[in-house]
Amino acid sequence: MKSKNKKTLVIGAGGQIGKILIEQLENKGSSVVALVRSESKAQKFADLGVETVIADLEGDFEHAFKGCDSVVFTAGSGGSTGDDKTLLIDLWAAAKAIDYAKKNNIQHFVMVSGLGAANPDEFVTEIKPYLVAKHFADRYLMESGLPYTILRPGSLINDNGTGLIRTSRPAKFSDLIIPREDVASVINYSLSNNKMKGKVVEFFSGNESIDTVFDI
Ligand SMILES: NC(=O)c1ccc[n+]([C@@H]2O[C@H](COP(=O)([O-])OP(=O)(O)OC[C@H]3O[C@@H](n4cnc5c(N)ncnc54)[C@H](OP(=O)(O)O)[C@@H]3O)[C@@H](O)[C@H]2O)c1
């Protein structure tokens, strides 16, 4: 069953996935609020007619949640910062967002997590601290009582999206990838389909449409 159009707060709107997602949501006429931390990014969205909130995720950002029905957390500390920012953004800011969502009666929280967050010991990788942060942010969301969708895409690439995905892991490690545009499409799909609530899904580039893959 499709849910009605609601107002969505996108946390990390100025990021690579965030920008594509905002464009997709705007194109389909959805109501969105873009949370960004700089005036310049806010101005770019404002020029496109997108409602913006300026906030630093290291501080209080509850004001951004007012009047919103759903939330997407696609912020991240990124690969060029240290483990301090991993703790402060990927874990602590995510946990604060979950608390704010509960206080503000958010009806759907979509978390952009990542492959390996289920079990940070599974892969030998230098990003293990990040995976631990994502693991506990995901667990906090699952235990929050909020309706949630946790998305665990493979490594992100900047190729054009194909709209074709798979949820089973490809055999080759190098195939555990997905274009950011397709991740945005899966977020978008999750926001408008109640059947995605309560799901934790890994996904990669594949050969089936998003609708077919999740038509379960
Ligand atoms: N890289 C991968 O292969 C991979 C795989 C699976 C999942 N993921 C997850 O997917 C997420 C989104 O990916 P992406 O490529 O879109 O990332 P991105 O381009 O780095 O976007 C992250 C966003 O978070 C924002 N942010 C960071 N700290 C902030 C703060 N203190 N206050 C406000 N905003 C803050 C950044 O703001 P600014 O624009 O101001 O810097 C940026 O817009 C990642 O963060 C990661 O958790 C990544």
Q: What is the 3-state secondary structure (H, E, C) of the chain?
A: CECCCCEEEEECCCCHHHHHHHHHHHHCCCEEEEEECCHHHHHHHHHCCCEEEECCCCCCCHHHHCCCCEEEECCCCCCCCCHHHHHHHHHHHHHHHHHHHHHCCCCEEEEECCCCCCCCCCCCCCCHHHHHHHHHHHHHHHCCCCCEEEEEECEEECCCCCCEEECCCCCCHHHCEEEHHHHHHHHHHHHCEHHHCCEEEEEEECCEEHHHHCCC
β-pair partners for 204: 166
CB of 89 sitting under 6 A from ligand 1? yes
Among 63, 51, 57, 17, which Cα is nearest to 37's? 57
Question: In the chain, what are the domain boundaries?
Answer: 7-156
CA 165 to mean position of chain CA atoms? 17
Q: What percent of the chain has pLDDT over 70?
A: 97
Query: Which amino acid belongs to residue 15?
Result: G
Q: How far is Cα 70 from Cα 10, in angstroms, rounded to an integer?
A: 9
Q: Whose CA is nearest to atom 31 of ligand 1?
A: 57
Instruction: Give me the mean pLDDT over the 121-139 stretch.
Output: 95
The pLDDT of residue 216: 66
The pLDDT of residue 25: 97
Cα of 121 from ligand 1 centre, angstroms: 23
Q: Is residue 3 over pLDDT 70?
A: no
- Closest ligand 1 atom to Cα of 57: 32
CB of 37 sitting under 6 A from ligand 1? yes
Q: Which residue carries 């009582």 as its tokens?
A: 145
- Closest ligand 1 atom to Cα of 14: 43
Query: pLDDT tens digits, residue range 18-32?
Result: 999 999 999 999 999
Looking at domain 7-156, its CATH architecture is 3-Layer(aba) Sandwich (3.40)
Q: Whose CA is nearest to atom 40 of ligand 1?
A: 37
Tokens of 149: 């969708």
Instruction: Give me the mean pLDDT over the 97-105 stretch.
Output: 98
Cα of 16 from ligand 1 centre, angstroms: 7
Q: Whose CA is nearest to atom 41 of ligand 1?
A: 15
Instruction: Give me the mean pLDDT over the 74-91 stretch.
Output: 96
**Mean residue pLDDT across the chain:** 96
Residues 6+ apart with CB under 8 A from 162: 179, 182, 205
Q: Is residue 1 over pLDDT 50?
A: no
Query: pLDDT tens digits, residue range 148-199?
Result: 999 999 999 999 999 999 999 999 999 999 999 999 999 999 999 999 999 9
Q: Is residue 2 over pLDDT 60?
A: no
The pLDDT of residue 5: 61
CB of 78 sitting under 6 A from ligand 1? yes
- Closest ligand 1 atom to Cα of 134: 47
Q: Whose CA is nearest to atom 8 of ligand 1?
A: 114
130 catalytically annotated: yes
Q: Is residue 118 over pLDDT 70?
A: yes
Cα of 1 from ligand 1 centre, angstroms: 31
The pLDDT of residue 20: 98
pTM, two decimals, is 0.97
